[in-house]
């Protein structure tokens, strides 16, 4: 008989089907510029990206770090790694980044690599793990003394949409309640500085990567479709928990799409972003 595992497995609620990978790519298009600005890379850094997904931002960091830099992406899911490798090859950037299989709660680093990274970064991962502190501790361990640990994640409550589309906030709440049913924290974004502190790093910066849009702005459709995409990726779980019934779910999504055609539609969101520094021992 198999021994019971010490801790429940983390579940990635969005899944890795091609539609979801396309949505993640769209989100990368929206966010990577401001995320890179926040990071302020100087060039030449050794960077570890934890939960690197499709690797678009991992490669963006590698481009900023330049030829004297080194970037390693750790990703648990084989389908994500395969697609990341393919996207890198398609962009003629196969040599830019190393993607390695592994779990964020037990980073697969050699003794030579541990404690050597200038920047240890993660984005949109802590909301998907049951024990984010365990991940941040691993990240602090991987950083060199004086190195930076950068956490970027969601606090789902910050969504604002106006004029209010019928049922949208209830549906959004139903979506992020699925996270806590899985044992994850949909508001982990507000805990980033605490997590850095608890993991033994000295918090140095705390900010938001803001993104807002309105009808008439070219990327407004991307915002709306990304929002619908994340909700839709959790459709089965939302229905299984009976937070919404099928008809109400579909009607609410349809009314949100119709709302997005309004000339006065406006939307705001912000990604929590915090940085800590590893103490010199
Ligand atoms: C929302 S994606 C974000 C990807 C990337 N960081 C970005 O910002 O585009 C989260 C990724 O974390 C991966 N993941 C989830 N739990 C993980 C774990 N425990 N260890 C490593 N990767 C994990 C998922 O497979 C997924 O590719």
Q: Is residue 143 part of a domain?
A: yes
**CATH code, domain carrying 40:** 3.40.50.150
Contact partners, residue 32, CB within 8 Å, separation at least 6: 56, 57, 60
Q: What are phi and psi of 264, to 5 degrees?
A: -110, 15
Domain limits for position 129 = 18-278
Q: How confident is the model at residue 3 (pLDDT cuts 50, 70, 90)?
A: very low
| pLDDT above 50 for 113 | yes
* Residue 103 within a domain: yes
Q: Tell me which of 125, 132, 136 to substitute to probe ligand 1's pocket, judged by most ligand atoms within 8 Å of the beta carbon.
A: 125
In a domain, 166, yes or no: yes
255 CA distance to ligand 1 middle (Å): 31
Distance 192 CA to ligand 1 centre (A): 17
pTM of structure: 0.92
Instruction: Say if residue 266's pLDDT is above 70.
Output: yes
Q: Is residue 11 part of a domain?
A: no
In a domain, 133, yes or no: yes
Residue 235: inside a domain? yes
Q: So what's the pLDDT on residue 8?
A: 58
Number of domains observed in the structure of the chain: 1
How far is it, in rounded angstroms, from Cα 79 to Cα 81? Answer: 5
Name the H helices within 91-203: 132-142, 168-181, 192-198
The stretch 182-211 carries a mean pLDDT of 97
Report if residue 91 sits inside a domain. Answer: yes
């Amino acid at each position: 008989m198999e021994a019971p595992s010490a801790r429940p497995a983390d579940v990635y609620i969005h899944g890795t089907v091609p539609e979801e990978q396309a949505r993640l790519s769209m989100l990368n298009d929206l966010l990577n510029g401001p995320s890179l600005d926040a990071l302020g890379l100087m060039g030449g850094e050794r960077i570890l990206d934890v939960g690197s997904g499709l690797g678009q931002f991992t490669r963006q960091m590698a481009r900023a770090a330049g030829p004297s830099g080194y970037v390693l992406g750790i990703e648990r899911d084989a389908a994500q790694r395969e697609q990341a490798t393919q996207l890198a090859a398609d962009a003629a950037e196969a040599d830019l980044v190393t993607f390695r299989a592994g779990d964020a709660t037990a980073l697969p680093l050699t003794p030579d690599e541990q404690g050597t990274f200038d920047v240890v970064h993660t984005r949109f991962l802590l909301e998907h793990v049951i024990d984010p502190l365990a991940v941040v501790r691993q990240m602090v361990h991987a950083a060199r003394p004086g190195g930076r640990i950068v956490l970027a994640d969601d606090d789902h409550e910050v969504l604002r949409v106006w004029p209010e589309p019928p049922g949208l906030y209830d549906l959004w709440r139903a979506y992020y309640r699925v996270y806590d049913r899985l044992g994850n924290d949909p508001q982990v974004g507000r805990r980033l500085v605490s997590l850095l502190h608890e993991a033994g790093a000295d918090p140095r910066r705390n900010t938001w990567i803001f993104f807002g849009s309105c009808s008439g702005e070219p990327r407004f459709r991307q915002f709306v479709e990304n929002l619908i995409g994340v909700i839709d990726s959790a459709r089965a779980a939302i229905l299984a928990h009976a937070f919404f019934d099928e008809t109400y779910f579909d009607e609410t999504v349809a009314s949100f799409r119709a709302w997005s055609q309004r000339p006065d539609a406006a939307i705001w969101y912000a990604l929590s972003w915090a940085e800590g520094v590893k103490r010199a021992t």
